[in-house]
Structure 1
Amino acid sequence: MIENAETLVKQISHGIYVIGVGKGERQNAFTAAWVMQVSFDPLLLAISINPGHYSYRLLQESGVCSVNVLGQQHYAIAEHFGRSAPDKMKGFEWQAASTGAPVLAESLAYFDCEVSHYADAGDHKIAVCKVVSAAAMLNQGRPMLYNQTGDMDGSSELYG
């Protein structure tokens, strides 16, 4: 057992994102902190996702997603999409990316992605995604970092 694992892991810098997934009318979004670039050519991002969640099934069906970068001013958005709820996307402005994935209009930037492949990662799956387009959305703000969210995700209870 690692003493204070929840505190130590938050020292690994990574941002907070809303991942938009969907197939046709069925769309969803979830908050993710485990996203990273894994290749320059082609530009690939890796996203960690719980395979028990509805969003994972939508991602598998559609094969596309958006990675929306949240700013430090978006704590409430991160908290909202970190919960399971019906009609979670209602009340937010969404645009369709070229792949059809939903893009959060309030994000600092977004990456429109196609899933390349999956890998097992403990209690999560890693979706390795090829970036097909990307753009800046808001021209202000700094990206939110995971260590700025406190225990919003309840992860302190998950370390054994």
Structure 2
Amino acid sequence: MEEIEAVLQQITQGVYVVGVADGEKTHAFTAAWVMQVSFSAVLLAISINPEHHSYQLLKKGGVCSINVLSRDQSNIAAHYGQSGIKDKMSVGTWAAAITGAPVLQESLAYFDCKVSHEVSAGDHQLVVCEVLEARKINVGDAMLYSDTGDMDNSEKLY
């Protein structure tokens, strides 16, 4: 399994904070499993653990933002990668996108999305989202999953 984990680290993936909303209720989580899956319509897929609080809000509210982190934002990635924090939205400045999804103003860029559909994928759900708006809001280099080391404790899952 160590070899599989080492090789999986070579798959190029960014690091994102996904903001979700159901009316006034907001939450966010760190995600590395995000990818474009269509040009027309522009669709992105997010892999999320269905046991997490964010998934429940995403499912009910049907909207999210995908916020691209910069290489110097490992503290933000670590914060939103934790569960059980009472005031999860306390790190960063948040503003509502057109859909109402929370957008992290310190991110490099964001995608404002509405949920299209989802598919079961092992211990996660693939949530396919249609991009309604996308904007660059800051300058920098995007954080890669390989930059995070074992921040997510994935070593224990293999």
Q: CA deviation at 1:59?
A: 0.2
Who is 1:41 aligned against?
A: 40
Q: CA deviation at 1:32?
A: 0.1
Deviations 1:64-83 (A, max 9, x none): 00000000011100000000
| CA RMSD in angstroms, aligned pairs only | 0.8
Q: Give the Cα separation in 1 of the matches to 2:155 and 2:2.
A: 12
Q: CA deviation at 1:4?
A: 2.1
Q: CA deviation at 1:18?
A: 0.1
- TM-score, length-normalised on structure 2? 0.97
Who is 1:19 aligned against?
A: 18
Q: Give the Cα separation in 2 of the matches to 1:136 and 1:157.
A: 35
Q: Give the Cα separation in 2 of the matches to 1:62 and 1:119.
A: 17
Q: CA deviation at 1:55?
A: 0.2
The DSSP-based 3-state class of the residue aligned with 2:128 is: strand
Runs (4+) off by over 4 Å: none
Who is 1:106 aligned against?
A: 106
Deviations 1:85-126 (A, max 9, x none): 111101421010000000000000000000000000000000
Identity %: 58
Q: Give the Cα separation in 1 of the matches to 2:33 and 2:27.
A: 18
Q: Give the Cα separation in 1 of the matches to 2:3 and 2:27.
A: 33
What one-letter code is carried by the residue in structure 1 that aligns with 2:135? Answer: A
Who is 2:130 aligned against?
A: 130
Q: Give the Cα separation in 2 of the matches to 1:37 and 1:157.
A: 28
Task: Decide whether the 8 Å contact of 2:26 with 2:102 is kept in 1.
Answer: yes
Who is 1:152 aligned against?
A: 151
Q: CA deviation at 1:6?
A: 1.7
The DSSP-based 3-state class of the residue aligned with 2:72 is: helix
What one-letter code is carried by the residue in structure 2 that aligns with 1:124? Answer: H
The runs of 5 or more residues in structure 1 that have no matched partner are none
What one-letter code is carried by the residue in structure 1 that aligns with 2:151? Answer: M
The DSSP-based 3-state class of the residue aligned with 1:143 is: coil
The DSSP-based 3-state class of the residue aligned with 1:89 is: helix
Who is 2:80 aligned against?
A: 81
Aligned length: 157
Q: Give the Cα separation in 1 of the matches to 2:91 and 2:76.
A: 11
Q: Give the Cα separation in 2 of the matches to 1:13 and 1:91.
A: 26
The DSSP-based 3-state class of the residue aligned with 1:120 is: strand
Q: Give the Cα separation in 1 of the matches to 2:2 and 2:13.
A: 21
Of the structure 1 ranges 56-65 and 91-100, higher mean CA displacement relative to structure 2 is found in 91-100
Q: CA deviation at 1:25?
A: 2.2
- TM-score, length-normalised on structure 1? 0.96
What one-letter code is carried by the residue in structure 1 that aligns with 2:32? Answer: A
